[in-house]
């Protein structure tokens, strides 16, 4: 993989086996950049960048505020069009959102008038094989609620859930339609440490059990080290990847593990020392 003019640095010596074997290329970004043009000014959010993501990878975008991480996620989702370059998903250009690349939105996007299982079913009703098949929608939604440990709450309303539980429902709703890529923009903000730790464990469990490809954005270096197979550290705006760090630790990882902390320090060190300042 080549990305901007990043320098090559080896990850710390492998501690253990790699998280999982990598498979086919799922996403290929070539020369992708984004400049937002308003009436008064142009904002170059993302510098021209190349990136490949393989099936089954967990890739985390990490970088300073405003460096274009969410913009890149939106381009992959098909919500934004790149100013230059091209995104290929399984070899075909991405031109619009699609059910193969779903974004996990935060808890506030759950529907308060629907109960938990209905919220999860909502993501299914637009899929051809689920259309007008309420029983199948319900069974699938229940199986996802079971996977995230909320099967007892299927008839609860959203306001009856804790913040962490709402995030779980949002996760189940995004996963139920079985997207090939799950896109997650800062998945667990404003949750207490214990709840976040449990969610990290759940997300890794889902990753191992489903082999899902996940791309997420975070500001938290420990979260990046805990979740990622590969952390892409961005430069300040206009963003491009200055460093790729492979996290060679077995799963499940605990966010409090010392080795996770060591990787987190290394990720932070990269952020604090962009290439021009080295
Ligand atoms: N729709 C838009 N119109 C104009 N400028 C935008 C738009 N969306 C993003 N930007 C600008 O592009 C730059 C990158 O924004 P983006 O949200 O991608 O950054 P980010 O790295 O995700 O930031 P953060 O970590 O703070 O969420 C910012 O300067 C932002 O102001």
The residue with tokens 């990850």 is 11
Assess whether the C-beta atom of 41 lies below 6 angstroms from ligand 1: no
Of 178, 198, 232, the domain-final residue? 178
| Residue bearing the CA closest to ligand 1, atom 30 | 66
Distance in Å, CA 216 to ligand 1 centroid = 16
Per-residue model confidence (pLDDT) at position 276: 63
Do 150 and 194 belong together in one domain?
no
Contacts of 182 (CB under 8 A, 6+ apart): 102, 104, 174, 175, 212, 213, 214, 215
Residues 170 and 143 both lie in one domain: yes
Residue 64 in contact with ligand 1 by CB distance below 6 A: no
Instruction: Report the CATH number that the domain containing residue 184 is assigned in CATH.
Output: 3.40.50.300
Residue identifier of the C-alpha nearest atom 11 of ligand 1: 45
Give me the domain span that covers residue 36. 1-9+19-100+179-278
Q: In the β-sheet with 241-246, what is the strand arrangement from edge to edge?
A: 101-104, 181-185, 213-218, 58-62, 230-234, 241-246
- The answer to whether residue 160 sits within a structural domain is yes
Alpha helices in the chain (DSSP H): 69-77, 116-122, 134-147, 163-175, 193-210, 221-227, 258-272
Per-10-residue mean pLDDT, the chain, length 278: 37 40 80 92 93 94 92 96 96 92 79 94 81 85 90 94 87 90 81 79 83 91 93 93 94 91 96 70
Closest CA to 64 of 259, 247, 221: 221
In a domain, 72, yes or no: yes
Residue of minimum CA distance from atom 17 in ligand 1: 70
**First-residue to last-residue Cα distance in the chain:** 23
Tell whether 116 and 193 lie within a shared domain. no
Residue that terminates a domain, selected from 178, 210, 231: 178
Ligand 1: does its nearest atom lie under 6 Å from the Cβ of 69? yes
């Amino acid at each position: 993989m080549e990305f901007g003019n990043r320098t090559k640095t080896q990850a710390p010596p492998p501690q253990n086996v790699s998280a999982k074997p990598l498979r086919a290329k799922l996403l290929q970004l070539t020369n992708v950049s984004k400049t937002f043009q308003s009436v008064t000014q142009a904002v170059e959010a993302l510098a021209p960048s190349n990136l490949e993501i393989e099936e089954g990878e967990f890739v985390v975008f990490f970088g300073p505020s405003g460096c274009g991480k969410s913009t890149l996620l939106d381009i992959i989702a098909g919500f934004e069009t790149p100013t230059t370059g091209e995104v290929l998903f399984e070899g075909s250009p991405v031109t619009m959102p699609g059910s193969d690349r779903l974004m996990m939105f935060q808890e506030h996007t759950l529907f308060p008038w629907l109960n938990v299982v209905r919220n999860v079913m909502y993501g299914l009703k637009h899929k051809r094989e689920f259309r007008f098949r309420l029983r199948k929608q319900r069974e699938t939604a229940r199986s996802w609620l079971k996977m995230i440990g909320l099967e007892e709450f299927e008839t609860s309303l959203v306001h009856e859930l804790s913040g962490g539980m709402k995030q779980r429902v949002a996760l189940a709703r995004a996963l139920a339609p079985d997207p090939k890529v799950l896109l997650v923009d800062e998945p667990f903000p404003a949750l207490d440490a214990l709840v976040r730790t449990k969610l990290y464990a759940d997300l890794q469990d889902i990753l191992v059990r489903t082999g899902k490809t996940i791309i997420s954005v975070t500001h938290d270096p420990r979260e990046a080290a805990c979740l990622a197979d590969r952390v892409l550290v961005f430069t300040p705006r206009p963003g491009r990847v200055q460093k790729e760090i492979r996290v060679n630790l077995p799963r499940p990882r605990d966010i409090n593990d010392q080795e996770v902390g060591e990787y987190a320090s290394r990720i932070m060190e990269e952020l604090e020392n962009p290439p021009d300042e080295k």
